Structure 1
Protein backbone atom coordinates (compact mmCIF):
# COMPACT_ATOMS: atom_id res chain seq x y z
CA UNK A 1 0.00 0.00 0.00
CA UNK A 2 1.43 3.38 -0.97
CA UNK A 3 1.72 6.32 1.41
CA UNK A 4 2.38 10.02 1.09
CA UNK A 5 6.04 11.04 1.12
CA UNK A 6 8.00 14.27 1.33
CA UNK A 7 10.93 15.07 -0.97
CA UNK A 8 13.56 17.84 -1.14
CA UNK A 9 15.82 18.47 -4.14
CA UNK A 10 19.24 20.14 -3.97
CA UNK A 11 22.12 21.15 -6.19
CA UNK A 12 25.15 20.06 -4.18
CA UNK A 13 25.42 18.56 -0.73
CA UNK A 14 26.30 20.14 2.57
CA UNK A 15 25.39 23.41 4.34
CA UNK A 16 25.84 25.48 1.15
CA UNK A 17 23.65 23.30 -1.09
CA UNK A 18 20.92 25.08 -3.07
CA UNK A 19 17.39 23.77 -2.64
CA UNK A 20 15.59 23.83 -5.99
CA UNK A 21 12.23 22.40 -4.95
CA UNK A 22 10.19 20.32 -2.52
CA UNK A 23 7.02 18.24 -2.70
CA UNK A 24 4.62 16.46 -0.40
CA UNK A 25 3.64 13.68 -2.79
CA UNK A 26 0.18 12.23 -2.27
CA UNK A 27 -0.32 8.58 -1.33
CA UNK A 28 -2.21 7.80 -4.54
CA UNK A 29 0.02 9.79 -6.88
CA UNK A 30 1.44 7.92 -9.85
CA UNK A 31 4.53 10.09 -9.94
CA UNK A 32 8.08 8.70 -9.85
CA UNK A 33 11.49 10.20 -9.21
CA UNK A 34 13.32 7.41 -11.03
CA UNK A 35 13.84 9.54 -14.13
CA UNK A 36 15.48 12.25 -12.00
CA UNK A 37 17.99 9.70 -10.69
CA UNK A 38 19.35 9.33 -14.24
CA UNK A 39 20.49 12.97 -14.53
CA UNK A 40 24.14 13.34 -15.52
CA UNK A 41 24.56 17.12 -15.17
CA UNK A 42 23.36 19.81 -12.80
CA UNK A 43 21.32 21.47 -15.56
CA UNK A 44 19.67 18.19 -16.53
CA UNK A 45 18.86 17.47 -12.87
CA UNK A 46 17.32 20.92 -12.40
CA UNK A 47 15.24 20.54 -15.59
CA UNK A 48 14.00 17.08 -14.57
CA UNK A 49 13.09 18.30 -11.07
CA UNK A 50 11.22 21.29 -12.51
CA UNK A 51 9.31 19.04 -14.93
CA UNK A 52 8.48 16.58 -12.16
CA UNK A 53 7.15 19.32 -9.85
CA UNK A 54 5.17 20.95 -12.64
CA UNK A 55 3.55 17.65 -13.66
CA UNK A 56 2.65 16.87 -10.04
CA UNK A 57 1.17 20.35 -9.61
CA UNK A 58 -0.90 20.15 -12.78
CA UNK A 59 -2.10 16.66 -11.92
CA UNK A 60 -2.86 17.69 -8.31
CA UNK A 61 -0.64 14.82 -7.18
CA UNK A 62 1.10 16.72 -4.40
CA UNK A 63 1.80 19.99 -2.61
CA UNK A 64 4.64 21.61 -4.55
CA UNK A 65 7.16 24.25 -3.48
CA UNK A 66 9.18 25.66 -6.37
CA UNK A 67 12.71 27.03 -6.40
CA UNK A 68 13.07 30.29 -4.49
CA UNK A 69 9.91 29.81 -2.44
CA UNK A 70 10.01 29.69 1.41
CA UNK A 71 10.81 26.50 3.28
CA UNK A 72 7.58 24.43 3.33
CA UNK A 73 8.07 22.05 6.25
CA UNK A 74 7.52 22.38 10.01
CA UNK A 75 10.84 20.61 10.65
CA UNK A 76 13.86 22.90 10.31
CA UNK A 77 16.14 20.88 7.98
CA UNK A 78 15.85 18.05 5.46
CA UNK A 79 16.70 15.59 8.23
CA UNK A 80 12.94 15.42 8.77
CA UNK A 81 12.09 14.91 5.08
CA UNK A 82 11.36 11.37 3.87
CA UNK A 83 13.67 11.53 0.82
CA UNK A 84 16.30 14.12 -0.09
CA UNK A 85 17.83 14.07 -3.58
CA UNK A 86 20.98 16.02 -4.43
CA UNK A 87 23.06 16.31 -7.58
CA UNK A 88 26.74 16.25 -6.67
CA UNK A 89 29.92 15.10 -8.48
CA UNK A 90 28.18 14.11 -11.71
CA UNK A 91 25.46 11.97 -10.14
CA UNK A 92 22.30 12.02 -8.03
CA UNK A 93 22.51 11.02 -4.37
CA UNK A 94 19.51 10.16 -2.17
CA UNK A 95 19.26 10.21 1.63
CA UNK A 96 16.30 8.80 3.49
CA UNK A 97 15.27 11.00 6.45
CA UNK A 98 18.76 12.41 6.69
CA UNK A 99 20.37 9.22 7.95
CA UNK A 100 23.04 8.93 5.21
CA UNK A 101 23.45 9.19 1.43
CA UNK A 102 22.37 5.59 0.82
CA UNK A 103 21.61 5.68 -2.93
CA UNK A 104 23.70 6.77 -5.91
CA UNK A 105 21.85 7.14 -9.22
CA UNK A 106 19.08 4.97 -7.78
CA UNK A 107 21.43 2.16 -6.71
CA UNK A 108 21.91 1.20 -3.06
CA UNK A 109 25.25 2.16 -1.51
CA UNK A 110 26.24 -0.01 1.50
CA UNK A 111 27.45 1.82 4.61
CA UNK A 112 31.19 2.15 4.92
CA UNK A 113 33.92 3.56 7.16
CA UNK A 114 34.09 6.73 5.04
CA UNK A 115 30.48 7.74 5.75
CA UNK A 116 30.18 11.20 7.27
CA UNK A 117 27.20 12.82 9.04
CA UNK A 118 24.68 14.27 6.61
CA UNK A 119 24.50 18.08 6.75
CA UNK A 120 21.74 20.21 5.21
CA UNK A 121 21.15 23.96 5.00
CA UNK A 122 18.78 25.29 7.65
CA UNK A 123 15.28 25.78 6.32
CA UNK A 124 14.12 27.49 9.50
CA UNK A 125 15.50 28.13 12.98
CA UNK A 126 12.70 26.67 15.05
CA UNK A 127 10.33 23.75 14.88
CA UNK A 128 6.66 24.37 14.03
CA UNK A 129 5.08 21.35 15.70
CA UNK A 130 1.47 21.44 16.88
CA UNK A 131 0.57 20.45 20.41
CA UNK A 132 4.12 19.69 21.58
CA UNK A 133 6.49 22.39 22.79
CA UNK A 134 8.33 24.13 19.99
CA UNK A 135 12.08 24.40 20.44
CA UNK A 136 15.28 25.40 18.72
CA UNK A 137 15.93 22.21 16.77
CA UNK A 138 18.63 23.11 14.28
CA UNK A 139 21.10 20.71 15.96
CA UNK A 140 18.74 17.82 16.53
CA UNK A 141 18.84 14.40 14.88
CA UNK A 142 15.50 13.32 13.49
CA UNK A 143 13.85 9.95 14.00
CA UNK A 144 12.74 7.71 11.13
CA UNK A 145 9.01 8.16 11.85
CA UNK A 146 9.01 11.93 12.34
CA UNK A 147 7.57 12.70 8.91
CA UNK A 148 4.38 10.77 9.67
CA UNK A 149 3.79 12.26 13.12
CA UNK A 150 4.98 15.88 12.99
CA UNK A 151 1.41 17.26 13.21
CA UNK A 152 0.38 15.05 16.14
CA UNK A 153 -0.22 16.39 19.61
CA UNK A 154 0.85 14.20 22.52
CA UNK A 155 -2.38 12.19 22.71
CA UNK A 156 -2.42 11.55 18.97
CA UNK A 157 1.21 10.53 19.16
CA UNK A 158 0.40 8.08 21.96
CA UNK A 159 -2.36 6.52 19.85
CA UNK A 160 -0.02 6.22 16.88
CA UNK A 161 2.58 4.48 19.04
CA UNK A 162 -0.03 2.10 20.49
CA UNK A 163 -1.15 1.20 16.97
CA UNK A 164 2.41 0.55 15.83
CA UNK A 165 3.11 -1.63 18.88
CA UNK A 166 -0.07 -3.70 18.87
CA UNK A 167 -1.83 -3.86 15.49
CA UNK A 168 -1.07 -6.59 12.92
CA UNK A 169 2.09 -5.66 11.08
CA UNK A 170 2.05 -4.32 7.49
CA UNK A 171 5.62 -3.96 6.18
CA UNK A 172 6.31 -0.69 4.40
CA UNK A 173 9.05 1.81 3.50
CA UNK A 174 9.41 3.07 7.08
CA UNK A 175 9.12 -0.27 8.85
CA UNK A 176 12.74 -1.34 9.47
CA UNK A 177 13.16 0.41 12.81
CA UNK A 178 9.71 -0.66 14.01
CA UNK A 179 10.41 -4.27 13.01
CA UNK A 180 13.56 -4.12 15.13
CA UNK A 181 11.65 -2.61 18.07
CA UNK A 182 8.74 -5.05 17.90
CA UNK A 183 11.16 -7.98 17.75
CA UNK A 184 12.22 -7.06 21.29
CA UNK A 185 8.61 -7.04 22.59
CA UNK A 186 6.95 -10.39 23.40
CA UNK A 187 3.69 -10.61 21.41
CA UNK A 188 1.52 -11.33 24.48
CA UNK A 189 2.24 -7.94 26.06
CA UNK A 190 -0.48 -5.33 26.52
CA UNK A 191 -0.01 -1.61 27.08
CA UNK A 192 -1.65 1.35 28.79
CA UNK A 193 -0.28 4.72 27.74
CA UNK A 194 -1.07 7.85 29.73
CA UNK A 195 -0.29 11.14 27.97
CA UNK A 196 0.79 13.78 30.49
CA UNK A 197 0.32 17.04 28.57
CA UNK A 198 1.84 19.27 31.27
CA UNK A 199 5.16 17.43 31.43
CA UNK A 200 5.06 16.29 27.76
CA UNK A 201 5.55 12.70 28.87
CA UNK A 202 4.14 9.34 27.80
CA UNK A 203 3.82 6.93 30.72
CA UNK A 204 3.73 3.38 29.38
CA UNK A 205 2.48 0.58 31.61
CA UNK A 206 3.37 -2.87 30.34
CA UNK A 207 1.02 -5.73 31.25
CA UNK A 208 2.23 -9.31 31.05
CA UNK A 209 5.62 -8.99 32.74
CA UNK A 210 6.67 -9.11 36.39
CA UNK A 211 9.71 -7.76 38.21
CA UNK A 212 12.55 -10.19 37.69
CA UNK A 213 11.21 -11.45 34.36
CA UNK A 214 14.20 -12.04 32.07
CA UNK A 215 12.52 -10.08 29.26
CA UNK A 216 11.65 -7.07 31.42
CA UNK A 217 14.91 -5.16 31.03
CA UNK A 218 14.92 -5.66 27.25
CA UNK A 219 11.33 -4.41 26.98
CA UNK A 220 12.01 -1.31 29.08
CA UNK A 221 15.15 -0.58 27.05
CA UNK A 222 13.30 -1.00 23.74
CA UNK A 223 10.43 1.30 24.73
CA UNK A 224 12.90 3.91 25.93
CA UNK A 225 13.92 4.32 22.26
CA UNK A 226 10.49 5.67 21.25
CA UNK A 227 11.47 9.39 21.41
CA UNK A 228 14.28 8.72 18.93
CA UNK A 229 11.88 7.00 16.51
CA UNK A 230 8.97 9.44 16.68
CA UNK A 231 10.79 12.73 17.10
CA UNK A 232 14.31 13.86 17.69
CA UNK A 233 17.31 13.35 19.86
CA UNK A 234 19.80 16.08 20.66
CA UNK A 235 23.53 15.33 20.78
CA UNK A 236 23.99 18.13 23.33
CA UNK A 237 21.56 16.52 25.75
CA UNK A 238 18.69 19.00 25.48
CA UNK A 239 15.18 17.65 26.19
CA UNK A 240 13.66 15.35 23.53
CA UNK A 241 10.36 16.02 21.80
CA UNK A 242 8.65 13.97 24.50
CA UNK A 243 9.76 11.85 27.44
CA UNK A 244 8.90 8.21 28.12
CA UNK A 245 8.45 6.51 31.50
CA UNK A 246 8.02 2.72 31.43
CA UNK A 247 6.33 0.83 34.30
CA UNK A 248 5.74 -2.89 34.73
CA UNK A 249 2.11 -3.25 35.76
CA UNK A 250 1.07 -5.76 38.39
CA UNK A 251 -2.35 -7.36 38.83
CA UNK A 252 -3.52 -4.48 41.02
CA UNK A 253 -3.32 -2.12 38.02
CA UNK A 254 -6.35 -3.80 36.43
CA UNK A 255 -8.42 -1.73 38.82
CA UNK A 256 -7.07 1.43 37.16
CA UNK A 257 -7.38 0.06 33.63
CA UNK A 258 -10.11 -2.58 34.01
CA UNK A 259 -10.50 -2.99 30.27
CA UNK A 260 -7.08 -4.66 30.23
CA UNK A 261 -8.51 -7.50 32.32
CA UNK A 262 -9.88 -8.71 28.99
CA UNK A 263 -7.02 -10.62 27.39
CA UNK A 264 -8.26 -9.63 23.93
CA UNK A 265 -7.61 -5.94 24.68
CA UNK A 266 -4.06 -5.04 23.71
CA UNK A 267 -3.90 -1.36 24.60
CA UNK A 268 -5.63 1.71 26.06
CA UNK A 269 -4.77 5.40 26.14
CA UNK A 270 -5.66 7.95 28.81
CA UNK A 271 -4.74 11.61 29.24
CA UNK A 272 -4.14 13.88 32.20
Structure 2
Protein backbone atom coordinates (compact mmCIF):
# COMPACT_ATOMS: atom_id res chain seq x y z
CA UNK A 1 0.00 0.00 0.00
CA UNK A 2 2.83 2.38 0.77
CA UNK A 3 4.18 2.49 -2.82
CA UNK A 4 0.64 3.13 -4.09
CA UNK A 5 0.22 6.06 -1.70
CA UNK A 6 3.52 7.53 -2.84
CA UNK A 7 2.50 7.13 -6.48
CA UNK A 8 -0.87 8.80 -5.86
CA UNK A 9 0.86 11.66 -4.00
CA UNK A 10 3.36 12.08 -6.86
CA UNK A 11 0.61 12.15 -9.49
CA UNK A 12 -1.40 14.62 -7.42
CA UNK A 13 1.61 16.90 -7.03
CA UNK A 14 2.35 16.65 -10.76
CA UNK A 15 -1.24 17.58 -11.58
CA UNK A 16 -1.14 20.60 -9.27
CA UNK A 17 2.13 21.69 -10.90
CA UNK A 18 0.64 21.42 -14.41
CA UNK A 19 -2.45 23.43 -13.43
CA UNK A 20 -0.19 25.96 -11.71
CA UNK A 21 1.78 26.46 -14.92
CA UNK A 22 -1.41 26.62 -16.95
CA UNK A 23 -2.83 29.33 -14.69
CA UNK A 24 0.41 31.28 -14.86
CA UNK A 25 0.57 31.64 -18.63
CA UNK A 26 -2.17 34.21 -18.99
CA UNK A 27 -2.19 37.64 -20.60
CA UNK A 28 -0.52 40.16 -18.23
CA UNK A 29 -2.86 42.72 -16.63
CA UNK A 30 -0.23 45.47 -16.79
CA UNK A 31 2.67 44.98 -19.17
CA UNK A 32 4.77 47.75 -17.61
CA UNK A 33 4.62 46.12 -14.17
CA UNK A 34 5.56 42.75 -15.63
CA UNK A 35 8.40 44.33 -17.59
CA UNK A 36 9.87 45.90 -14.45
CA UNK A 37 9.56 42.58 -12.65
CA UNK A 38 11.30 40.87 -15.59
CA UNK A 39 14.24 43.30 -15.43
CA UNK A 40 14.54 42.79 -11.68
CA UNK A 41 14.60 39.02 -12.10
CA UNK A 42 17.22 39.28 -14.86
CA UNK A 43 19.42 41.09 -12.38
CA UNK A 44 18.72 38.55 -9.65
CA UNK A 45 19.30 35.50 -11.86
CA UNK A 46 22.09 36.78 -14.08
CA UNK A 47 24.16 39.43 -12.37
CA UNK A 48 24.07 37.96 -8.88
CA UNK A 49 25.08 34.54 -10.20
CA UNK A 50 27.80 35.88 -12.49
CA UNK A 51 30.82 35.52 -10.21
CA UNK A 52 29.74 32.14 -8.88
CA UNK A 53 29.33 30.78 -12.40
CA UNK A 54 32.65 32.34 -13.41
CA UNK A 55 34.59 30.73 -10.56
CA UNK A 56 32.98 27.29 -10.80
CA UNK A 57 33.39 27.19 -14.59
CA UNK A 58 37.07 28.09 -14.38
CA UNK A 59 37.84 25.32 -11.89
CA UNK A 60 35.73 22.77 -13.78
CA UNK A 61 37.68 23.51 -16.97
CA UNK A 62 41.05 23.20 -15.23
CA UNK A 63 40.12 19.98 -13.45
CA UNK A 64 38.75 18.47 -16.67
CA UNK A 65 42.00 19.04 -18.55
CA UNK A 66 44.22 17.81 -15.71
CA UNK A 67 42.15 14.68 -15.09
CA UNK A 68 41.89 13.90 -18.81
CA UNK A 69 45.68 14.13 -19.10
CA UNK A 70 46.00 11.84 -16.08
CA UNK A 71 43.71 9.20 -17.62
CA UNK A 72 45.42 9.23 -21.02
CA UNK A 73 48.52 7.21 -20.20
CA UNK A 74 49.14 5.53 -23.57
CA UNK A 75 52.03 7.35 -25.32
CA UNK A 76 50.64 6.76 -28.82
CA UNK A 77 47.56 8.89 -28.10
CA UNK A 78 48.28 12.44 -29.33
CA UNK A 79 48.09 15.28 -26.84
CA UNK A 80 45.44 17.18 -28.78
CA UNK A 81 42.92 14.50 -27.73
CA UNK A 82 42.93 16.19 -24.31
CA UNK A 83 41.45 19.29 -25.94
CA UNK A 84 38.81 17.22 -27.72
CA UNK A 85 37.75 15.43 -24.53
CA UNK A 86 37.65 18.70 -22.57
CA UNK A 87 35.58 20.39 -25.29
CA UNK A 88 32.98 17.63 -25.49
CA UNK A 89 32.81 17.18 -21.71
CA UNK A 90 32.23 20.88 -21.12
CA UNK A 91 29.76 21.47 -23.95
CA UNK A 92 27.74 18.27 -23.64
CA UNK A 93 27.59 17.87 -19.87
CA UNK A 94 29.54 20.09 -17.49
CA UNK A 95 28.28 23.47 -18.70
CA UNK A 96 24.54 22.75 -19.11
CA UNK A 97 23.96 20.14 -16.40
CA UNK A 98 26.55 21.37 -13.93
CA UNK A 99 25.36 24.94 -14.35
CA UNK A 100 21.75 23.81 -14.00
CA UNK A 101 22.42 22.07 -10.67
CA UNK A 102 24.42 25.04 -9.38
CA UNK A 103 21.71 27.52 -10.32
CA UNK A 104 19.01 25.33 -8.81
CA UNK A 105 20.74 25.77 -5.45
CA UNK A 106 21.33 29.51 -5.92
CA UNK A 107 18.45 30.81 -8.01
CA UNK A 108 15.93 28.07 -7.21
CA UNK A 109 16.37 28.34 -3.46
CA UNK A 110 16.04 32.13 -3.56
CA UNK A 111 12.88 32.03 -5.67
CA UNK A 112 11.17 29.44 -3.47
CA UNK A 113 12.14 31.23 -0.25
CA UNK A 114 11.12 34.62 -1.63
CA UNK A 115 7.68 33.46 -2.73
CA UNK A 116 7.26 31.39 0.44
CA UNK A 117 7.79 34.47 2.58
CA UNK A 118 5.33 36.37 0.36
CA UNK A 119 2.78 33.68 1.19
CA UNK A 120 3.71 33.76 4.86
CA UNK A 121 3.35 37.54 5.10
CA UNK A 122 0.00 37.37 3.22
CA UNK A 123 1.27 39.49 0.33
CA UNK A 124 -0.11 36.94 -2.14
CA UNK A 125 -3.52 37.00 -0.44
CA UNK A 126 -3.56 40.81 -0.61
CA UNK A 127 -2.74 40.76 -4.34
CA UNK A 128 -5.51 38.24 -4.99
CA UNK A 129 -7.97 40.51 -3.14
CA UNK A 130 -7.05 43.24 -5.64
CA UNK A 131 -7.89 40.94 -8.56
CA UNK A 132 -4.30 40.21 -9.59
CA UNK A 133 -3.50 36.85 -11.13
CA UNK A 134 -0.78 36.08 -8.59
CA UNK A 135 0.38 32.93 -10.34
CA UNK A 136 1.11 34.86 -13.54
CA UNK A 137 2.61 37.84 -11.74
CA UNK A 138 4.88 35.60 -9.66
CA UNK A 139 6.01 33.06 -12.24
CA UNK A 140 6.06 34.75 -15.68
CA UNK A 141 8.82 37.32 -15.00
CA UNK A 142 10.94 34.63 -13.38
CA UNK A 143 10.43 32.12 -16.20
CA UNK A 144 11.24 34.59 -18.99
CA UNK A 145 14.19 35.97 -17.04
CA UNK A 146 15.48 32.43 -16.60
CA UNK A 147 15.02 31.59 -20.28
CA UNK A 148 16.93 34.76 -21.17
CA UNK A 149 19.74 34.85 -18.60
CA UNK A 150 20.59 31.19 -17.93
CA UNK A 151 21.57 30.40 -21.57
CA UNK A 152 23.83 33.47 -21.48
CA UNK A 153 25.41 32.15 -18.31
CA UNK A 154 25.90 28.78 -20.04
CA UNK A 155 27.75 30.45 -22.93
CA UNK A 156 29.92 32.22 -20.38
CA UNK A 157 30.50 28.92 -18.57
CA UNK A 158 31.62 27.14 -21.77
CA UNK A 159 34.03 29.90 -22.79
CA UNK A 160 35.54 30.30 -19.31
CA UNK A 161 35.89 26.53 -18.79
CA UNK A 162 37.69 25.98 -22.08
CA UNK A 163 39.97 28.99 -21.65
CA UNK A 164 40.81 28.07 -18.05
CA UNK A 165 41.41 24.46 -19.08
CA UNK A 166 43.84 25.58 -21.77
CA UNK A 167 45.68 27.84 -19.32
CA UNK A 168 45.98 25.00 -16.81
CA UNK A 169 47.15 22.51 -19.44
CA UNK A 170 49.76 24.80 -20.98
CA UNK A 171 51.07 26.17 -17.66
CA UNK A 172 51.54 22.64 -16.27
CA UNK A 173 53.32 21.46 -19.42
CA UNK A 174 50.63 18.91 -20.22
CA UNK A 175 50.33 20.08 -23.83
CA UNK A 176 51.16 23.09 -25.97
CA UNK A 177 48.79 25.90 -26.85
CA UNK A 178 48.74 24.76 -30.47
CA UNK A 179 47.84 21.18 -29.46
CA UNK A 180 45.03 22.38 -27.22
CA UNK A 181 43.59 24.72 -29.84
CA UNK A 182 43.81 22.00 -32.48
CA UNK A 183 41.98 19.60 -30.16
CA UNK A 184 39.19 22.10 -29.59
CA UNK A 185 38.62 22.52 -33.32
CA UNK A 186 39.29 18.97 -34.49
CA UNK A 187 36.18 16.98 -35.47
CA UNK A 188 33.92 19.62 -33.94
CA UNK A 189 30.21 18.79 -34.25
CA UNK A 190 27.72 21.69 -34.03
CA UNK A 191 25.05 19.21 -32.93
CA UNK A 192 26.76 19.12 -29.54
CA UNK A 193 26.12 22.84 -29.08
CA UNK A 194 22.52 22.35 -30.18
CA UNK A 195 22.04 19.65 -27.56
CA UNK A 196 23.61 21.85 -24.89
CA UNK A 197 21.14 24.65 -25.67
CA UNK A 198 18.18 22.26 -25.68
CA UNK A 199 19.24 21.06 -22.23
CA UNK A 200 19.78 24.49 -20.79
CA UNK A 201 16.46 25.83 -22.11
CA UNK A 202 14.66 22.90 -20.48
CA UNK A 203 16.55 23.49 -17.23
CA UNK A 204 15.86 27.24 -17.49
CA UNK A 205 12.15 26.43 -17.51
CA UNK A 206 12.25 23.83 -14.75
CA UNK A 207 14.21 25.85 -12.19
CA UNK A 208 11.91 28.90 -11.88
CA UNK A 209 8.63 27.02 -12.32
CA UNK A 210 9.34 24.29 -9.78
CA UNK A 211 10.82 26.76 -7.30
CA UNK A 212 7.83 29.09 -7.71
CA UNK A 213 5.46 26.18 -7.26
CA UNK A 214 7.17 25.04 -4.05
CA UNK A 215 7.21 28.55 -2.62
CA UNK A 216 3.65 29.39 -3.67
CA UNK A 217 2.15 26.45 -1.80
CA UNK A 218 4.44 26.65 1.23
CA UNK A 219 2.48 26.59 4.49
CA UNK A 220 3.32 27.15 8.13
CA UNK A 221 6.07 29.22 9.68
CA UNK A 222 9.55 30.30 8.60
CA UNK A 223 10.90 26.80 9.14
CA UNK A 224 8.40 25.32 6.71
CA UNK A 225 9.29 27.96 4.13
CA UNK A 226 12.96 27.03 4.49
CA UNK A 227 12.09 23.34 4.11
CA UNK A 228 10.06 24.12 0.97
CA UNK A 229 13.00 26.06 -0.50
CA UNK A 230 15.37 23.19 0.31
CA UNK A 231 12.92 20.71 -1.20
CA UNK A 232 12.79 22.79 -4.39
CA UNK A 233 16.58 22.42 -4.77
CA UNK A 234 16.33 18.64 -4.38
CA UNK A 235 13.45 18.30 -6.84
CA UNK A 236 15.16 20.58 -9.34
CA UNK A 237 18.39 18.60 -9.24
CA UNK A 238 16.59 15.26 -9.65
CA UNK A 239 14.49 16.51 -12.58
CA UNK A 240 17.51 18.18 -14.20
CA UNK A 241 19.43 14.90 -14.13
CA UNK A 242 16.38 12.99 -15.40
CA UNK A 243 15.83 15.50 -18.22
CA UNK A 244 19.56 15.38 -18.98
CA UNK A 245 19.38 11.61 -19.48
CA UNK A 246 16.22 11.79 -21.63
CA UNK A 247 17.49 14.58 -23.87
CA UNK A 248 20.90 12.92 -24.27
CA UNK A 249 19.30 9.57 -25.15
CA UNK A 250 17.00 11.15 -27.73
CA UNK A 251 19.49 13.50 -29.39
CA UNK A 252 22.37 11.04 -29.47
CA UNK A 253 19.96 8.40 -30.85
CA UNK A 254 20.76 5.61 -28.40
Compute the TM-score of the two structures, normalised by the length of structure 2.
0.26
Compute the TM-score of the two structures, normalised by the length of structure 1.
0.25
Bigger relative contact order, structure 1 or 2, given CA contacts below 8 A and separation 6+?
2
